[in-house]
């Protein structure tokens, strides 16, 4: 099975290409974004005049933090209901896009804070347009939203077909302002998604060519993006790779590769993509016996060996050591073991195996 209901525009000037479809989304939009990226990227300079031309009113909710929490989603929902917004525009990296999905669904289904992970209560939706300003999460083409519950210090997600955006506007010009650090972290996140399209027990072989092409685009273009940040063809290739990664996990979901990194984001503030990256080699080694043939085929399609991939990966500053204590490791093991991502991994770790994986990034002398 292959399913994605999102209409995708991947091009320079993508907003204008999508004009007639944007006009049909609604009459009053809540624009959901972080405090800076929507303006710094140049999206607002093109989006707001277009909405005015289309006679669509709007308001900007620029309050999405790096890791959106449940309370922020409810504030967005209340604003939607009070002002009668009939469609949503999400702009930014994964955090604003994920928050946009959650706010849209919370509004349509009148969800309370303690109901935001309950997809059984999600029966209706509102139109949603997603405009990514990074090339990492692929959230513009997935049915997932990852939120943080600060009271539990837990990062978790939900998935429902109702969360798929109606429109995805992928314009590589909007990524030219990314810093080198964000460029690296988001690209590593996209690489994680592509690999998890192979790792997951829900893997879809029909997507393997897309996964291989996405990996090839990242391997061939990431260093150029870091060295020449305004090289537009490179940014376009990385944005395409991110989209391929999003499509892959839309079908396969993520795995332990993701759930093992979530505590490092909530506890230590490590960016999500980097949290994936610090475990990338360890997870591939751990999974390898179960997916040896699939990985061999995809690396052959990319044109490198696994050892060459490891050499390439080690050339980036992602080998981070974290001050996680033995006590915290013991505390986090049940949470990670119970995560839905872990359940669909090709190899289910024992608690001792998971402890060894976590200790592999532990600073000495904790």
Q: In the CATH scheme, what architecture does the domain 7-174 have?
A: 3-Layer(aba) Sandwich (3.40)
Q: How far apart are CA 232 and CA 221, in angstroms?
A: 11
Name the least confident of 129-133, 155-159, 182-186.
155-159
- Write out the two tokens for 172: 């590589």
pLDDT given for residue 2 in this prediction: 78
**Length in residues, the chain:** 366
CB 257 within 8 A of CB 264: no
How is the chain split into domains, by residue range?
7-174, 178-359
pLDDT given for residue 38 in this prediction: 81
Burial class (CB in 10 A: 0-12, 13-18, 19+), 310: middle
Helix axes 280-302 and 208-227, enclosed angle (nearest 10): 110
- Write out the two tokens for 125: 């939706």
Mean pLDDT confidence for 209-218: 98
365: confidence class by pLDDT, cuts 50, 70, 90: low
Q: Taking the chain, what is the end-to-end CA distance rounded to the nearest angstrom?
A: 48
Q: How far apart are CA 131 and CA 88, in angstroms?
A: 11
Q: What is the pLDDT of residues 225-250, one digit of tens each?
A: 999 999 999 999 999 999 999 999 99
Please indicate whether residue 194 or residue 348 has the higher confidence score (pLDDT): 194
* One-character DSSP codes across 314-353: HTSS----B---HHHHHHHHHHHHHSHHHHTSSSPPPHHH
Closest CA to 100 of 48, 135, 142, 136: 142
Tell me the sheet residues that pair with 148.
Answer: 69, 155
Mean pLDDT confidence for 350-362: 94
Q: What is the pLDDT of residues 60-80, one digit of tens each?
A: 999 999 889 999 999 999 999
Average pLDDT over the chain, rounded to whole?
A: 94
Q: What is the 8-class DSSP label of residue 69?
A: B
In this predicted structure, the answer to whether residue 366 has a pLDDT above a threshold of 50 is no
Q: Where are the alpha helices (DSSP H) in the chain?
A: 14-17, 19-23, 37-40, 43-53, 70-83, 94-109, 180-199, 208-227, 232-252, 256-259, 262-268, 272-277, 280-302, 306-314, 326-338, 340-343, 351-359
pTM to 2 decimals?
0.94
Q: What is the pLDDT of residues 8-65, one digit of tens each?
A: 999 999 999 999 999 999 999 999 999 877 888 999 999 999 999 999 999 999 999 9
Percent of the chain with pLDDT over 70: 99
Percent of the chain with pLDDT over 90: 86
Q: What is the pLDDT of residues 269-319, one digit of tens each?
A: 899 899 999 999 999 999 999 999 999 999 999 999 999 999 999 999 998
pLDDT given for residue 333 in this prediction: 94
Cα–Cα distance list, 19 to 25, 118, 166, 327, 349 (Å): 10, 34, 13, 54, 48
Topology agreement, domain 7-174 and domain 178-359: no
Q: How far apart are CA 332 and CA 67, in angstroms?
A: 19
Residue range 178-359 forms a domain whose CATH class is: mainly alpha
Cα–Cα distance list, 29 to 21, 91, 242 (Å): 14, 12, 26
In this predicted structure, the answer to whether residue 364 has a pLDDT above a threshold of 90 is no
């Amino acid at each position: 099975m292959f399913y994605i209901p999102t209409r995708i525009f991947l091009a320079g000037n993508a907003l204008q290409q999508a004009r007639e479809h944007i006009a049909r989304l609604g009459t009053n939009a809540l624009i959901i974004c972080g405090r800076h990226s929507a303006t710094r990227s140049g999206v607002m300079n093109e989006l707001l005049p277009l909405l005015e031309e289309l006679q669509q009113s709007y308001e900007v909710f620029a309050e999405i933090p790096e890791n959106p929490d449940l309370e922020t989603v409810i504030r967005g929902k209340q604003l939607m209901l009070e002002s009668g917004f009939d469609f949503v525009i999400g702009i930014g990296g994964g955090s604003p896009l994920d928050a946009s999905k959650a706010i849209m669904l919370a509004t349509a289904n009148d969800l309370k804070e303690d109901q935001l992970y309950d997809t059984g209560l999600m029966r209706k939706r509102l139109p949603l347009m997603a405009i990514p300003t990074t090339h990492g999460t692929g959230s513009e083409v997935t049915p997932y939203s990852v939120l943080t519950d600060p009271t539990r210090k837990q990062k978790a997600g939900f998935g429902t077909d109702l969360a798929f955006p109606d429109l995805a506007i992928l314009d590589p010009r909007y990524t030219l302002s990314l810093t080198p650090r964000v460029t690296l972290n988001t690209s590593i996140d996209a690489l994680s998604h592509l690999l998890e399209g192979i790792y997951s027990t829900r893997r879809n072989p029909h997507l393997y060519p897309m996964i291989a092409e996405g990996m090839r685009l990242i391997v061939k273009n990431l260093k150029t993006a870091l060295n020449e940040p305004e090289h537009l063809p490179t940014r376009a290739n990385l944005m395409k790779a991110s989209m391929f990664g999003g499509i892959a996990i839309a079908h396969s979901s993520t795995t332990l590769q993701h759930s093992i990194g979530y505590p490092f984001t909530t506890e230590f503030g490590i960016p999500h993509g980097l949290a994936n990256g610090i475990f990338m080699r360890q997870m591939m080694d751990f999974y390898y016996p179960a997916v040896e043939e699939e990985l061999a085929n995809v690396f052959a399609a990319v044109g490198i060996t696994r050892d060459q991939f490891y050499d390439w990966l080690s050339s980036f500053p992602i080998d981070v050591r974290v001050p996680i204590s033995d006590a915290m490791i013991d505390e986090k093991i049940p949470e990670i073991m119970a995560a839905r991502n872990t359940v669909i991994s090709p190899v289910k770790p024992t608690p001792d195996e998971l402890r060894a994986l976590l200790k592999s990034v532990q600073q000495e002398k904790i």
